[in-house]
Amino acid sequence: MTQKEQHLSDLKQIRSLMEKSTRFLSLSGLSGVFIGVFALFGAMAAYVYFDYSFYYGETQDMIYFADSQTRNQFLLFVFTDALSVLLLALSFGFYFTWRKAKRRGDKIWDNTFKRLLINLFIPLVAGGLFGLILLYHGEVAILPAITLIFYGLALVNASHYTLNDVRALGILEIFLGLIAVFFIGYGLFFWAVGFGVLHIIYGTLMYFKYERN
Amino acid sequence: MNIIANLNKMFESRIRLGIMSILMVNDWVDFLALKELLEVSDGNLASHLKALESEEYMEVRKQFVGKKPKTSYRASLLGRNEFNLHLENLNKLLSNTQEVVKKRD
């Protein structure tokens, strides 16, 4: 190695270490697995509720035209289902990440984690609000696709502050969301794949890559 | 090439250079985190930390988390200045090559 190459590689190392040390690395693969499992449970409940079908093309009619009792019942079910999935997924997600952080001797609530959450939640909250506004207009047709796309963007954004692998998951979610726009009415299926299957696969891969040793 | 003389001997070691890089962009960093980031052995890391400590390039803090002792490190003002000077000199040495000009932020 010439002197110049030596200096150049020094600079590269400095840059890479500065980057690596400012990322939250305790993100647990098991968190991903459990988030996926609960998402699948939620999707299963909806699948049963929709009379064992992934197709719910009449949802829009249900929200727009059905009598208020049917409509309220439908909305109540959707909110209960979504909220329980969210709460269970978040609590188990936090638990396994907390456990991994503890095992590594890291504090979970450190700067890297705060930075990760803030950058994850900016696109996520924007997407959530956008979805709610669509719902307010009774536009549910592209809602599943929108949630997947915004979630994917949030992951890509967050990947700068944690394991780089999160970026790949984000890109897959965006891709899946775009495909979902073509298949209006099959949102439940795409949700099950995006929030369920992809999380389980990602989490399992991460678990074997970083944790099982 | 008298500019070579400006490069800090303390940062000739890859590991010491790495330790300081991490400390520059973080507040307190503990031993385990340094070890994982740098992928070095305990003994190797400890000896380099001691060298940096004796030059007063960093501060050391010892505390107990539960029953486990935990040692954390933070770059001192002197360490920061020396590191920045070293970086500047590295860049100066390389600034005539296109590759680095491209890479500089």
Q: Is the pLDDT assigned to residue A85 strictly greater than 70? A: yes
Max mean pLDDT among A92-101, A113-122, A148-157 falls in A148-157
**Are the beta carbons of A105 and B30 separated by less than 8 Å?**
yes
Measure in Å the smallest separation between the Cα of B27 and chain A Cα atoms. 9
pLDDT in tens, B42-60: 999 999 999 999 999 999 9
Cβ within 8 Å, pair B103-A17: no
Nearest to A21 among B37, B68, B93 (CB): B37
Interface test with A, best of B6, B12, B13, B21 (most A CBs within 10 A): B21
> Among A15-19, A53-57, A82-86, A120-124, which stretch is predicted with the lowest mean pLDDT?
A53-57
Asked if residue A151 is part of any domain, the answer here is yes
A7–B94 C-beta distance less than 8 A: yes
The per-residue pLDDT for range A95-107, each reduced to its tens digit, is 999 998 888 766 6
Answer whether residue A33 shows pLDDT above 70.
yes
Pairing type for strands B29-30 and B68-75 reads antiparallel
Entry pTM: 0.70
Count of domains for chain A: 1
Q: Please tell me if residue A2 touches chain B, with a CB cutoff of 8 Å.
A: no
A143: pLDDT strictly greater than 70? yes
Going from N- to C-terminal start, the domains of chain B cover 2-96
Strands, E assignment, chain B: 29-30, 58-65, 68-75
Specify the pLDDT at position A179: 97
Confidence of residue A39 (pLDDT cuts 50, 70, 90): very high
- pLDDT, position A159: 94
A43-57 b/e with 16+ CB inside 10 Å = b? beebbeebeeebebe
Among candidates B26, B94, B99 on the partner chain, residue whose Cβ is nearest the Cβ of A21: B26
CB contact under 8 A, B17 and A18: no
Please state, rounded to an integer, the average pLDDT across all residues of chain A.
87
Global ipTM: 0.80
- In this prediction, residue A59 has a pLDDT band, given cuts at 50, 70 and 90, of low
pLDDT band at A19 (very low <50, low <70, confident <90, very high): confident
Within a domain: A10: no
Q: Do A22 and B26 touch (CB under 8 A)?
A: yes
Domain B2-96, CATH class in plain words? mainly alpha
Which two tokens mark B61? 């803090």
Range of the domain at A206: 25-211
In a domain, A35, yes or no: yes
Which pLDDT does position A62 carry in this prediction? 57
A181-184: long-range contacts, CB 8 A cutoff, minimum separation 24: A181/A142, A181/A145, A184/A57, A184/A141, A184/A142
Q: Which residue of A has its CA nearest to B90?
A: A7
Tell me which chain A residue has its CA closest to the CA of residue B101. Answer: A8
